[in-house]
Structure 1
């Protein structure tokens, strides 16, 4: 990890100014704002040092699924809710459509999506199943894309219906669920890290692999 140990009471040395002063005798330089860094006028965000006071931690995991079959068959949303509840041990929360869209057959007020939010022991139990049971079974799966992230330390990944069926709670009772109604889901892992780089380092230690160019 990018941990830098500083004993209590120790202050790291201060760095120089990132903006440059204007050099010359021109009177226009007196009240002019400082110049940007060399190579461009945009200042990149500073990466906060990781110390024992701000070690990145897992905060929560959010699962989201949208069942398009629920437009014509409301029972499809019940199946999706049972699957999410089985793999997370948390009751799913249903969400309504806020705006009608006639070309897609959507009506305002109809239920179409579900979310689950996991914290504490439920979160760690779900991640252990995902990393140790489900991911090794996915055929030819390269890992999570290196550009995944929202620049705030939250990493997302997706599972298709065949991947969701690999969870042990679904696999052992596979005949109880209509095969074509098992949903895929989008998973967002929220961390206390302030950058995607630190979040990936944390999730790599958890056991989640990444591939491709890592975008910070």
Structure 2
């Protein structure tokens, strides 16, 4: 995909240091960690040449749903947990709020979201359902935005409640879930790639389409 071949004896050109040393005669500069780059630039992960030894791969998939309806009725959270557990085959974990927000009626310690973390066979089974079953059923769906990513090889996209209802585990038991309680969810795909471009190439080869402006 993004393999770069180097002949035997090839030596890559040396690059300048990304961190700056401390200048001055202060005794506190000795053994002090190097300074970051000037300005607001953020240090990203170093991209190493891709060979057959370090081809990017998917490490894990996180499916998360924030249930706003659980503020008033906790049954929305139970429905969200059952749906995420059904479509991922992984037991959902509920998360509670850390602070109270009076403007939204949120109290500290209130459970408002659920998360499932997938690895191994469950992860690949979930992705195959997304690519082969769910995504083709979504009307007028262009794909995943090319600007998604955290500059470290992790890409995210989301589904609405109507789109979550297209999962086969939900469709076969549609009467079991109240239609207005089916939540939307966010899917975060964590890869071993060190930048968004390599991660996007990996997911494109697996069948996930991207559109729009690509940000590497």
Q: Same fold (TM over 0.5)?
A: yes
For the residue of structure 1 that corresponds to 2:64, the secondary structure is strand
Q: Using a 3 Å threshold, how does the CA distance of structure 1 residues 156 and 17 change in structure 2: closer, same or farther?
A: closer
1:151 aligns with 2:160: no
Q: Among 3, 10, 13, which residue is 2:11 paired with?
A: 13
Alignment match, 2:162: 162
Q: Distance in 1 between matches of 2:104 and 2:49?
A: 48
What pairs with 1:16-55 in structure 2 (closer than 5 Å)? Answer: 16-18=14-16, 47-55=47-55
Alignment match, 2:90: 90
Q: TM-score, normalised by structure 2?
A: 0.84
Any stretches of 5+ residues in structure 1 without a counterpart? 20-41
1:103 shift after superposition: 1.4
Q: Deviations over 1:125-172 (max 9, x none)?
A: 000000000000000001000010000000000000011000000011
Alignment match, 1:133: 133
Q: TM-score, normalised by structure 1?
A: 0.84
Alignment match, 2:121: 121
Alignment match, 2:80: 80
Alignment match, 2:192: 192
Q: Using a 3 Å threshold, how does the CA distance of structure 1 residues 11 and 180 change in structure 2: closer, same or farther?
A: farther
Structure 1 residue ranges (4+ consecutive) displaced by more than 4 angstroms after TM superposition: 16-19, 42-46
Larger Rg: 1
Q: Distance in 2 between matches of 1:146 and 1:129?
A: 21
Q: Using a 3 Å threshold, how does the CA distance of structure 1 residues 11 and 190 change in structure 2: closer, same or farther?
A: farther
Q: Distance in 2 between matches of 1:11 and 1:75?
A: 64
For the residue of structure 2 that corresponds to 1:81, the secondary structure is helix
Q: Using a 3 Å threshold, how does the CA distance of structure 1 residues 204 and 101 change in structure 2: closer, same or farther?
A: same
Q: Using a 3 Å threshold, how does the CA distance of structure 1 residues 17 and 133 change in structure 2: closer, same or farther?
A: closer
Q: Using a 3 Å threshold, how does the CA distance of structure 1 residues 71 and 5 change in structure 2: closer, same or farther?
A: same
Contact residue 146 and residue 210 of structure 1 kept, 8 A:
yes
1:212 aligns with 2:212: yes
Any stretches of 5+ residues in structure 2 without a counterpart? 18-40
